[in-house]
């Protein structure tokens, strides 16, 4: 598989919505409107395995994306998609501005302080209205320039400014 063929998860199906086969999806993207431009998406997981599915309609409801897929005509069929990830080719990702990063690039990144202390790998990115928060084994780091000094996607390394209360000692 070539570099352009890598798939990236842009959302996950959380439940059926209504009785006509729509599904409710939680977007993993800062560009939920991008679903409107998709003709098809790779649906992986749930009870469907992994297959390309044609999108017939998209609308929004309370922060969720409601999607109508071709061939999914009722609640039972929609239920079979619960838990499935929605994936696109990496080559089809929306372009980023300077100092913006894809979540899939941040997850797994090694985090060290400016003093060289390891804070572990980023295992989760919490989304909020103000800013994202990077969660490692030892710290929760607000994704703002005041704390995040550098990000090297190629090297999978992030350097952060140590701040009182940033590092949480593990209790063993």
Residues 75 and 110 reside in one and the same domain:
no
Q: What's the chain's length in residues?
A: 172
Any idea what DSSP says for residue 76? H
68, 92, 116: which is the final residue of a domain?
92
Residues 66 and 144 reside in one and the same domain:
no
64, 92, 120: which is the final residue of a domain?
92
User: What would you measure as the largest C-alpha separation in the chain, in angstroms?
Assistant: 57
Half-sphere exposure of 95 (CA within 13 A, CB side): 2
> Is there a domain that residue 67 lies in?
yes
For the residues of 90-157, what is the DSSP string, one character each? GGGSPP--TT---HHHHTT-EEEETT--EEEE--EEE--SS--EEE-SSBEEESSTTTEEEEETTTTE
CATH code of the domain in which 39 resides: 2.40.30.60
Residues 10 and 46 reside in one and the same domain:
yes
pTM of the model: 0.66
> Does the pLDDT at position 8 exceed 80?
yes
Per-residue pLDDT band for 168 (boundaries 50, 70, 90) equals low
> Is there a domain that residue 169 lies in?
no
37, 62, 92: which is the final residue of a domain?
92
> Is there a domain that residue 27 lies in?
yes
Domain limits at 29?
3-92
Give the tens place of pLDDT for each residue, 92-138. 777 778 878 888 889 899 999 999 999 999 998 887 778 889 999 89
Average pLDDT over residues 44-65: 91
- Split into its structural domains, the chain has a count of 2
Residues 123 and 47 reside in one and the same domain:
no
Residues 148 and 80 reside in one and the same domain:
no
Residues 87 and 140 reside in one and the same domain:
no
User: Which has the higher per-residue pLDDT, 33 or 54?
Assistant: 54
């Amino acid at each position: 598989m070539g570099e352009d063929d890598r798939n990236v998860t842009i959302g996950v199906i959380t439940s059926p919505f209504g009785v006509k086969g729509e599904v409710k999806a939680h977007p993993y993207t800062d560009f939920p409107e991008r679903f409107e431009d998709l003709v098809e998406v790779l649906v992986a997981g749930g009870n469907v395995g992994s297959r390309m599915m044609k999108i017939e309609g998209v609308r929004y409801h309370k922060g969720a994306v409601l999607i109508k897929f071709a061939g999914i005509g009722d609640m039972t069929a929609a239920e079979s998609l619960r838990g499935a990830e929605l994936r696109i080719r990496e080559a089809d990702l929306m372009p980023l501005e300077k100092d913006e990063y894809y979540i899939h690039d941040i997850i797994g990144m090694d985090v060290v302080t400016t003093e060289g202390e390891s804070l572990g790998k980023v295992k989760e990115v919490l989304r909020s209205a103000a800013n994202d928060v990077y969660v490692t084994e030892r710290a929760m780091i607000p994704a703002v320039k005041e704390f995040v000094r550098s990000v090297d996607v190629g090297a999978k390394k992030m350097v952060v400014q140590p701040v009182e209360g940033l590092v949480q000692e593990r209790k063993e």
